[in-house]
Amino acid sequence: MSATLVMSSTQFKSVEGCLRAMLFRFRSRLRTVTSTDYFARGCAVHAGLATHYDGKSVDDSLLAAVNELQARLPNNPDMVQELTPQVLDLLTFYLSDDPKSGATLDKEERVNTIAVENTFDIEVAPDIRIIGIIDHLKYFHRSNSMKGKAIEDHKTSKRGGLTYGSNIEYEPQQLLYAWAAREMGFAPEWFSWNVLVTTKQPYVMRFYEPIYWPRIHTYMLRAINFAKWLQKQPEEPGEILLDVPGNPGQCRSCMFRQLCDFPQLTDVLLQSDFRREEYQGLSQFRKATNGTQGSNDTSSNTP
């Protein structure tokens, strides 16, 4: 009998991206320093929003965000110092009553929180479980034709390029969250995206899309089939990794591009302890292998 496969919602959504990238990331445990820092900033903003939607004051929400940032980066005070003003500016901008703030948030909207940071752990097939956290379940009212139960995801990475009208209703994470929420007894009628990013200045926006359930069922069927396939793969894919089909449509912003461009490096990388370190690109790889690998210049591809 095969062991139980537990996948996070982040892994599960990779079905819609590149399978090979998913294996690099989750089976070979390659990470970048940059992604770790992005992650800490996003977690801090999420902690502030969870506190806010839990009914606490603005001060409490800001404090929760700073505490989360420090907890995520315990050995990097310089990064904490750099990210703290970004996080505080963004949250202050979002939570402020100033009409200039969050013009796209519709300050007339009424929101009743049902739950924040709702965790789920659901068996989707025999010996396959999906775990995750849903940011916000709420009831909202914007107008008589725009109201109801919504599942909200806070987006804090500008890399997502999340914009209204860009097939947003296909976003895999939300499809999975809506399905999980319904399994837990809260059947949402709307997707809600709450976008908070720092560009030159804080930028916030919230938008909605009605939920079309057949799309979710189709996605879940595909994703469960994928999980069944993954369940049969070896824990350490090693040399099979480059036999797994990639998805060129995703390559442009992929952090593993150098490994796909130079397949001869991949086996060496995955067989060394180096794979457990944070992957910073080919130059770090050369250093780790005493400059014996990777003679081609790929500086333009540095993640």
Question: Interface residues for ligand SF4 in 258-297 (CB under 6 A)?
Answer: 260
How far is residue 11's CA from residue 173's CA, in Å, rounded to a whole number?
10
How far is residue 201's CA from residue 164's CA, in Å, rounded to a whole number?
20
Q: Does 65 interact with ligand SF4 (rule: CB under 6 A)? A: no
Q: Does 241 interact with ligand SF4 (rule: CB under 6 A)? A: no
Contact (CB, 8 A) for 1 and 128: no
Residue located via tokens 């801090």: 44
* Among candidate residues 293, 288, 292, the one with its CA nearest the CA of residue 266: 293
How far is residue 196's CA from residue 153's CA, in Å, rounded to a whole number?
11
Residue (12 or 256) nearer to ligand SF4, CB = 256
Q: Does 58 interact with ligand SF4 (rule: CB under 6 A)? A: no
Stretch that binds ligand SF4, among 166-174, 211-219, 253-261, 276-284 (CB under 6 A): 253-261
Question: Residue 272 has what DSSP assignment?
Answer: S
* Among candidate residues 137, 134, 112, 106, the one with its CA nearest the CA of residue 122: 134
Cβ atoms within 10 Å, residue 283: 15
Stretch that binds ligand SF4, among 32-40, 129-137, 175-183, 248-256 (CB under 6 A): 248-256
Structure token pair of residue 139: 């009831």
Q: Does 15 interact with ligand SF4 (rule: CB under 6 A)? A: no
Q: Does 247 interact with ligand SF4 (rule: CB under 6 A)? A: yes
One residue of 37, 251, 293, 298 binding ligand SF4 per CB under 6 A: 251
Residue (101 or 301) nearer to ligand SF4, CB = 301
Stretch that binds ligand SF4, among 19-27, 60-68, 115-123, 209-217 (CB under 6 A): 19-27
Q: Does 157 interact with ligand SF4 (rule: CB under 6 A)? A: no
Residue located via tokens 């090979």: 20
Binding site for ligand SF4 (CB under 6 A): 18, 20-21, 24, 246-248, 250-251, 254, 256-257, 260
